[in-house]
Structure 1
Amino acid sequence: MKYTKVVIFWIAILFLNIVFESQINAFIDKYIMALNYANIWAKVLYVIIMFFAAIELARNIKIIHASILIHCLFISLLYFLYRQNLIEHPNWKYEILFDDIKYADVIFIPLIISIVKYVKKWMKNIYNKFLSNNSASELISNNPIQSKNEDKLSYAKDAENLLNMLIKNKKRTSDGALIIGLRGKWGQGKTSYFNLMREAALSRKDVILLRLNVWQCSKYQTSVKSLLKIIADGINDISLKNTINEYAKVIIDADISYLSKILSIFYRSKSPEELFQSISKQIKELDKTLIIQIDDLDRLTSEEVFDIIKLIRVIANFNNIFFIVAYDEEYINNCLKMLHIDSSYLEKVFHIIYPLPVVSRNEQLETIKKGLVNSLVLLDVNAEKIITDFMTRIGNNITLRNAKRLSNTIQCGLTDLKDEDGIKLDLYDYILINYLQMINSNAYSFLANLADTGLYAYNDKCLKWNMNSYSLNMDKDILDLIKNNNEQLSEEEYIEQRLKKDVGDENIELTYIIFRELFDQERNGVARICYINSYQLYFNRTFDKKLVEKSTFKSSFNNGLDDFKTNLNKWNKEDFDQHNLMRLIENFQCETEEKWEQFFTALLEITPKSRVWTSQQYRRNEKRILIPIPGWDLLKSNQSVSSDKKQTLGNALYHYFYEKEILENDSLEILKKKLTLVLSSDMEYTNLMKLFNIAQISYKDIFNLYWNPYIQKGGSYKDFDEDFWYIVDKVYFSDRLELCEIAKKHIKLNIDEFIANYPIESILYSHLYLQELFINYNELGQSNGEWIPNFKQFLINIENKSQALNTYIQNLEKHLSNPKQ
């Protein structure tokens, strides 16, 4: 084991104590017992010595290695055992001494403090490791890392190597300070690098490492005082400290202190040069290397940057000092440029320019991705996919610092938007919108204050309003449309003419990418930012009462079919957002075929009896009736992981909507509603079943499957048969003829009911699907478009006409002879 030697050493000590017990006792009798502890002044002196010894121990004992901890533990253990007489030692003289030297207990205190410090540090390291693996429940610190346990960029080894190199080259500072420029971009980890170097220095006795944060020094005088005080306190030599204090006073206060001028008549103080030489000489004689880190230089103004450079080059240019100055080259060069100083000036300042270690972009991205995924791991989402999509879409244009900020922003904002089912909004959109406010605050403000009106097409806004949603306004202006047949702006035109106008040009390319993702109409979701009624949720984080929450929808389904039906009927009212309800239905997924069939059954409660009739009603600007499409988002998903779920959905669809035996046992109303659902997503459903070799269903098959039970159960022409005419319009020539004959036969058998439900005006001017039954097709499936004469002849050929039919034929002839009537 690593620390076996330490343990063996103490076992040997105990063994020697036992073997040489008589010799030790003789030594105590002769030298220690002879001391007169009864003298009060001896006791006072002893207490004073023990008191200062304890203070010095408490100040200087730093347990860095476990071996030191083991030493402290053994010393403390032995002292405690003998002090409390827990080990019998009648022949030893220590027991007698303890009554007189009990004040030595004070030494025991710093030993315990040291042990506690070590345990605390050990626990902190364990806690940090726990946080790195379970960071989702904690905010990620955007502060620099403090130890190599947090080092994700592999800086620790390089920082330790630099430290060792400086210590070995101490002689290079014999004629003055050596200044090293630690170059790195803002946010790249310069302060973290300094912290790792400091951690490495703590285990060394041949170095003093100090830090000056110049951002905390607002004035030049403050910087001078701070730097000189740091040096004085770090070296901790009373004589040197006094000299440095005097040097600081002469440098800063001499010209403004009238008292100093009066005193100078009677007392001649040393000059700055003399004090400088004295300090430099004393520092040079140190047996340790002095390293001073200068941090946050790239947070200062141009004048302050120049002051700090002058300070370390002139005022503090002592022997035996290494200055390491962390800086962003681009920023510092801009500062010098503002002062009309050439950038080559830095070459005169820094003796060595030492760039931060180059971490490959792939390593950085992997670290960023891992951090973002960890921040979402406690949510009920596929965090890996969401973050991968996010990183891919933005082209990996994100820094480690921004990634930490983004993680914290997401976690803070989701506090009120998270429930047992995950989050109430679209997480991918939420990540995008929060990253947008980091890279373009104007764009975020524009979206946050977006009005619900004034976003129609052909205006000059970057977004437009499309009934239930917002989308990118890629449409050309009306004048452009007249001149050019191209109805869409190119990406470049859109960015220049629309986007920049509304959001400015900061990070405009990345801003466009985020806008394109946020307002992508093809991406599915429940409460997406592009949907009108969930839009403000991303900014005020308050869920609208008209929106049904995903968790509420799910829990209602899990509570049973009756409860779910009741809630569906309640939600399918004007008091609730119908678009939101549709998206919940389309997004919902079940784990088993049985659950899917229960879901379909519940949806029939709010499904209209005719798809065609509902669509025509919507075109007439009447109240829109919801036609849910269960499983829509799953059908549209391209994820390979959803294959099993699609298979389950396909099996459930076939059994519930396409099995002849099931349909024959359904009521007429259920048949009507089932056909409505089937026709709402006919191609997607049939393609899904074909993909998994479940069945191959055509429009002709759908017609026959539903027509026969519909007729058998007394189906009428009141509001349902139009769906069959829709199917006829969809099939190919040979099938169309076959289905037309089936439909016409039914019309002939139920002619009085037919003419009661199809007025002449409806047939002539609005009923497009019915026309398909009476158009003549040639062998190539082409028609001449003439159908009314065929329809009239069809009516005339019906035998045993009723009075109603004769009247219907007469009215038809009147309309044909006088179309304007």
Structure 2
Amino acid sequence: MLLLFQPVITKKFLRKFIIGFFSKEALILIISCLLFFYFNQQITTFIGKYLVTSLTSNNIYLTVLTIVIVVFLISFQLIKITDRYKPAFEYWFILLAIIGMHFYYRVYLVNVPWSYLRISELKYLNCAYLDIIYASLLIFPIVYFTIWFKNLFRTSSELSVKNINIEDNPIENTDDDKIGYDDLVKRITGNVLHDIYNKSFTIGIVGPWGNGKSSLIKLVQNKIKENKPKNIVEINFYPFLNHNDEDIITEFFKSLSSKLEKYDGSLSKQLFGYADKLIQLYKKGDIKYFLDKHISLNSNTPAYNLYEEINSILKKINKKIIVYIDDLDRLNEKEIIQVLKLIRNTANFNNTVFIVAMDKKYVVDALKNSKDFQNERFVDKFFQLEVYLPEIKKSILLDLFEKLIFDSNEIEPKVKEKIKIALTRKETLFRYYISNIRDVKKLANQLIFENTFINDEINYTDFINFIFLKTHYPKFIQSLNTNRAKFLNHKNGFYYLNEKSPENENRTEALIKEFNRISDESSVEIDKYDIANLFKIEDNCYEKQFNLNCWDKELLLITLVELFGNQSPTNPDSIQHEYNFSKLMRLSFEKNDLRKNELDTLLSFTDFEDISKYLIAILKNNKGRQLIEQIKYIEPKTKEDLKTLTIILILCYNFIEEYQLFESDITYSLSFIIKPELYDRNSSLLKNEEWVSFIKKVYFESQKIKLYSKVRLLNLLWTNKGGNKLWGVGETYIKEIALKYFDEYLSKFNVTCWEKDDFKIFHIYNSLKDIGDIKNQINIEYIKFLKNNNLTVFCSQMLDTEAVDGNYKINNFVVGLFGSYDEFFDFVKKSHDNGNQQLNEFIEYLELMKITEFRGSLKYKFNDFPIREYPSKNYYYGFLESYKNLVQFFFEFNTVNIRKANDKLIDFTPLLTQLDLVIEIFQYDNKHFMFFFKNENNAQNEKFKIINMYASRIYNVLKSSIPNCHYKEITEENSIFIFDNDGIEIAKLKSYQV
């Protein structure tokens, strides 16, 4: 048993237990227990008097209530356990108090002024209802105690999780110090602990980004802790966590106060008061004197008095204050100035040491725009000592990188060996791109992450160099991907840099000098390649576009030469190979990636059926989009390659809907493969006649390609005929095949009618009508087709909704097909069967539309005519709300006198505006009609009021010229008669509102 607990009961464990026993939470628990026992009698009396009820027997309601409570408590605890909830101290305190009190009164204290109601079914167990409820509360503590007890016997390696990615944390242990900072740490620590300063002393840890400044500070902190000094107060201050430069002052003095308040009670108040004064001065703009070498505050100012009082207290408590400030190079100009004020002026306290990590170049560059900046040495006066971190040797960085890679569980052993070999090659640009530990960790993380997706198909020298290229020059990668012909030549399945032609040899003389700073160990010859001309000194366009300085330009060119400089590439694992190049340029991170052997197998087929069968297998594995992207980077080398690639893309276009492919990607890839020069009569790859015969067979006249797909692609071909030259088949053939496609599509409906929600026929019509001059021929065929087929479905499709509640208009498609709305109306009237009640109803609607000259829309209630389902109202909510209460109605008047009088109603126009009422007058079939529409809830009920108001004004105009003019108000039964038989009546045409 002793051996069992030996790993647990260690000196460290006992120390932790003793500290925990005297913690604030433990003291609260002990005091609460003592108070409970001290007031035990009063608590017992209170429970017996106020919390106990009389109940002598069991009942079903109590049982059900108990079950509900228990189920709820158990469920709640199980949910929290599965969520890995960590209870706070308050939870454990309350839970322990509740269970402890129950145990005390139920087991220990027998003589209590109440009794527990027991469960009759469990009488042999002497179990009460409250026992069940309290027992259900034990699930949480039992589970967590079990986990805690189990973890006691697990080693730290078992408890820890090995991360996939490598964190960029500063080292804290000298054993992890691979750079050799140990002597430097000892020297800094010795000086800090030994010296006593009258004012503050500032040490700058200076080095470039990622060079280990944070690690050095951590090592100094740990070294100081090892010496166990009793008079040291350490403060870690992180100014980059503050929101603005004023917060820096507040947070610094808050941190200082929290560390020093236990040594002097008045110091905290003094520090906060001092901080407030500084902020006030800062807001007033009177803070400029803080930039001087010494405090120059007027001795009568409150801020100066507070400063002196604080400094006096600090001398009395006799503590050395060490303030660590990391990442000064994360701050902006104003924040840097504020920190410098603190460390040299406003916090220039007795025996205070500031250890500040910074990239001095960044700090100086950031301060150049400040009005306080004087010269390059401006920052020097704030530091009494600057410790410059040496440049880390490349061999150290390389060893660290190899260790990180070999320690990773995400990379296979054989891949690790390949990476190690790649790092030994001078072509790998590790020495140029990696200059600090942060670079090492970033590259390692990038390799660990991306290695999974390259499937060991690319050599690791190229892969590592490409990682450098894309992480350092993302804008250039984008340009290279979209304009690769500008930078690279593509031949025989490989990409490579163009060498300069002899006539351009003199263009780069100045450039050679610019790029002569290449390391002696490098054999890269930048000036021999044409790409150097794109970065010539006198033209800085690319400098601005890619944000390049001189060294960036040089390094970019070195990288491109290493990646694509080989003029005779043969290695299939090189980045120059079109498959590998496209894979990396696409930045594809798909686990189900299209493998090179799959692509090679597909490209090896020449038979249409074989290609189709293998392609479908690729598409079913969701690799279609990758394949289409891959083809953009492939150059056909033989006529068989050209034919195979063309068939693949046409088949992909045929399967767009089935496999969710992108039409634009396919057509874009087609433009790469089928170029005008390929079917030129002088083409060396494929003669014109052979190409025309091939493309007609596999696309235009193929029965294996869906008609709808052929039509869509034909439309795109015609639309872009200026660039694709119609693939060499000629305009005459294109027009003939377009008419054939349309007739072929119409013929399929000679037996079976299409559905009212099937709009493919319109898509086909619109795709073909603009090809050449065939629109009239297509219209004739289409109209002839409609005469002999179900006209009702076509009319239903021509009925568009503009709003809710039966508001319709006629689609303007009929204008393009018939010439006008009137011709469409005449066609429907002549072509329909009078016995077709559905079309009779539609014609009634058309007559109303004809009255209004087919302007706008009308409300109409169709009873028999089939209406298509429209999108839900919620889809058009904001737009349709204005139509919700729209009311429309017609009135017919039988005399031209009324129409003439209407033109004289000048005074009626303002009234119409006031009533939000629109009146239009139309003439149709030798009759006159008034069309009213109004947007109002009760407009339907007010239609007679509106027309009577209108008629009264007509009457006032006419009575001067017609002496015997008279009228009576219109009602449901009566019309308005102005004079004899001249008057206004409700239109006899069927309308939704009439």
- TM-score interval (norm. to shorter): 0.3 to 0.5
- Structure 1 length as normaliser, TM-score? 0.45
- Structure 2 length as normaliser, TM-score? 0.38
Structure possessing the higher relative contact order (Cα contacts under 8 Å, 6 or more residues apart): 1
Structure with the higher helix share, 1 or 2: 1
